[in-house]
Structure 1
C-alpha cells in the first residue's frame, strides 16, 4: 500500500536527449512534414477549418411543368398529367395509364388470375384478401371462373402497358428555389440577376444557372432510359446543393444540380417495380346514381432535395485548429521514441539516458553539496562546459 502511495505522489519532468542518428532524424522530419502538409492542405485549405459553418439551411421550392402530349388518343395538358397540381417540391408526371370507365357500386367477378376458381370453396378461403378490387363475397362465378366481389364494377383489368406518352421527354420543368443561411442572414435564389429571360434550358457546362430542365436531359444525367421508366414509372431525385464560401463575394454563392434514380434498389425487383398510383373521377347520372372512372397511373416521380452549408472566417475555430496543428507536430517525437526504445540496437542506452529516477534523499544531498561549493567554482564549471543540459548519444545508436 505504501509503495502505491509513494508511486502516486511522484513527479515526472522532461529530459532532453540529443540522438545523432541520420535514420531517426530523417523519420522525425518526414513525420513533421506530413503532419504540417495534412493540416495546411486538408484541414485549412480543403476543409476550411478556419471558418464557422451554418448547416441549418432554410429552403423553399416551387415547380412548374409545361408541355402537351397524347395518351390513349387523348390530348393531355399539365392539369391532366401532373399530380399534385400545387407545384410542390414532390410531383409526378404521368407517362402511362390504365382506365376503367363507368364503374358503379354492384357485384361482379374479379379480373385477376389470382382469384381464379371452380367452386365456392375456392373463394371462401380468399374472403379476407386485400388484393382484390373489392370485398370477396365467397361465391364463384362459373361463367368467368373468377371469384365474385362487392365493390366498383366492372373490376379493373390491370393489363400490361403497351404505349406510353412519348412526348414527356420534351416536357420542361421550371424550378424556383430560394434559400437562407440564418447564421449569416444571407438569402440566395437559383435565378441569377443576370438572367433576363426564361427561354433557356439547363446545361451543366454551357448554361449552369438556368432553372429550366428538360425531362429527357434529367433522365440522361440520371443514367436512365425513357422507354424503360415510362412504362412502369420510377422516382428521380433532383439534388440542389448550396455550398458557399462567404469569405468571397456573395454573388459566387450558386447552386449545383445532381440527378439520381432514387428507387434504383428496386429497379430489377420482380415483386415491386416502378411507381404507380390510382385516382378516380366521380360523376352522377340523371337518375341520381353515382359512377366513376378509375385511373391507374404510371408516373415519373420527381423529388427535389435541397441541401447546403455556408462558411465564413472566424477567430475561434482558427485558433483551435492552429493549436491542434502545433500540438500534432509533437506526434513525430512520439513516433521516434517508439522506434528508439524498441527497434534500434542502442535502445538500452537510450532508455538509460532518457529515464532516470531521483529519490528525495539524493536531491537533498545534492543541494547540500551545491551549498558547500563556492560561487566561483560553479561559475567556472558553467563557463567551461559546452553541454546545454542535454545528453548526447552518438552515431552508434
Structure 2
C-alpha cells in the first residue's frame, strides 16, 4: 500500500512571499547580474553561440628596390635585390693550420674535425715554425677575419625598398578562403599603391622604413648590427557578418633581444657564398657575412560562426543559473 501511495502522490514546493525591500532588491540584483553575465560576457565577449576554427595560411613575398654606393676599393656600384655584395674572391681548398704542438710530434687523425676548427685534418703533422708543429687541415683559405662593424650600414638606401606580401588564408571548417589582395585590385593599382593605415590600408606593398618605424625602431641603427622584425597579420573574423568585414590587420614588432644588460651575440647575421672558377680552373668562392634585418611574417587568427548546438548549451546553462535564484 505504501508503494501505491507514493505512485499516486504529487508534491509541490511551498512558495513564501517576503515583503522586504532589502531582500527583494538583493534578489533582483542577483537576477540582473546573471542576465548581464549571460548576455554581456557569454554572448557578446566570448561569443559562445559560435563554433571556432583556426586559420591555415600561406605567404609569399617579393622585394623591390635599387641602391647606390661609392666605396673605396669597390668603386661606384648599383645594387638591386639580386646583387648587393662584392667582396674579393678567395682561393678554395688550400691549407690552413690548427692544433699547435711545442714538440716534434702532433696527434693528427685523417678525416677528423673540430667543431671550432676550420677544416678537415689530412693526417699530416707539418712544420708551422722552426719549433712548432701542427696538424694540416683541408680548408678554404684565407680564413674569415672579423672586423669592427661600420657605423652606418652599407646599403643605407635599403630603407626605401618595398616588399609585396601575398597572403592567402583558409578556414576549412567553414569553407572560407580569402587573400589580402582584394578581388577588385588590378596590376595598375599595385604598381602605384603603398600601405598607409589612413589613406591606403588595403595595399599589400610595404616600405621597409615604415615597418621598422611602426615597431618603434630606427632602420639605420637596426640594419648596422642586424635584427629580426616580425610582420604580424591577424585574420580574426566573425563570419556571421558579410565576407568583406573579414580582412587582415597588420602590426610590426621587433622579435630579437635588445636588452643592453643581457645582450650576448646581439643582432642578426648569416653567411653565404658565391662560387666561381678562375681561368686556370681553380674553384674559388666569395664568402659573405651579411648583417641586416630579417623580416618574419607571422599569420594568426580565429574565426567564429553561429551554430545551434553551443547556442542551446549556453541558453540551457543560463536558464539553470536563473532557476537557482528564482522562486519555484
| 102 and 181 in structure 1: CA distance in 2 versus 1, 3 angstrom threshold | same
Show the 5 A alignment for 1:115-154. 129-134=114-119, 150-154=138-142
What CA distance in whole angstroms lies between the structure 1 residues aligned with 2:129 and 2:216? 49
> What residue is the counterpart of 1:76 in the other structure?
79
- 1:177 corresponding residue in structure 2: 167
Match of 1:87 in 2: none
- Distance change (3 Å), C-alpha of 1:250 and 1:294: same
Counterpart contact for 1:234–1:275, Cα < 8 Å: yes
Structure with greater proportional helix content: 1
Q: TM-score, normalised by structure 1?
A: 0.65
Tell me, what secondary structure is at the counterpart of 2:266?
coil
Equivalenced residue count is 300
Partner in structure 1 of residue 27 of structure 2: 28
Counterparts of 1:231-380 in structure 2, within 5 Å, are 231-264=224-257, 269-330=262-323
Q: Is the 8 Å Cα contact of residues 100 and 156 (structure 1) preserved in structure 2?
A: no
- The CA deviation at 1:283 is 1.7
Q: TM-score, normalised by structure 2?
A: 0.77
Bigger Cα Rg: 1
Q: Which runs of 5+ in 2 are unaligned?
A: 1-11
Question: CA shift at 1:219, angstroms?
Answer: 0.4
Q: Following TM superposition, by how much is the alpha carbon of 1:98 offset from its aligned partner in structure 2, in angstroms?
A: 9.3
Matched residues in 2 for 1:65 and 1:140: separation? 51
Question: Which residue of the partner structure matches residue 208 of structure 1?
Answer: 201
1:107 aligns with 2:107: no
Q: Deviations over 1:337-365 (max 9, x none)?
A: xxxxxxxxxxxxxxxxxxxxxxxxxxxxx
Q: For the structure 1 residues 40 and 139, does the alpha-carbon distance in structure 2 shift closer, same or farther, using more than 3 Å as the test?
A: farther
Q: Distance in 2 between matches of 1:254 and 1:109?
A: 59
CA 1:169–1:118: 2 relative to 1, 3 Å: farther
Aligned match for 1:155, one of 131, 143, 146: 143
RMSD: 3.6
Distance 2:293 2:88 in 1: 21
Preserved contact between residue 103 and residue 153 of structure 1 (Cα < 8 Å): yes
User: Post-superposition shift, 1:22?
Assistant: 3.9
List per-residue Cα deviations over 1:315-347 (Å, max 9, x = no partner).
2221111111222335658xxxxxxxxxxxxxx
Change (3 A) 1:25 1:100: farther
Cα distance change on mapping 1:270 and 1:316 into 2, 3 Å: closer
For residues 68 and 267 of structure 1, the distance between their equivalents in structure 2, rounded to whole angstroms, comes to 33
What's 2:51 paired with?
52
Q: How far has the Cα of 1:217 moved from its partner? A: 0.8
Instruction: Provide structure 1 residue ranges, at least 5 long, that are not aligned to the other structure.
Output: 1-12, 82-96, 334-387, 391-397
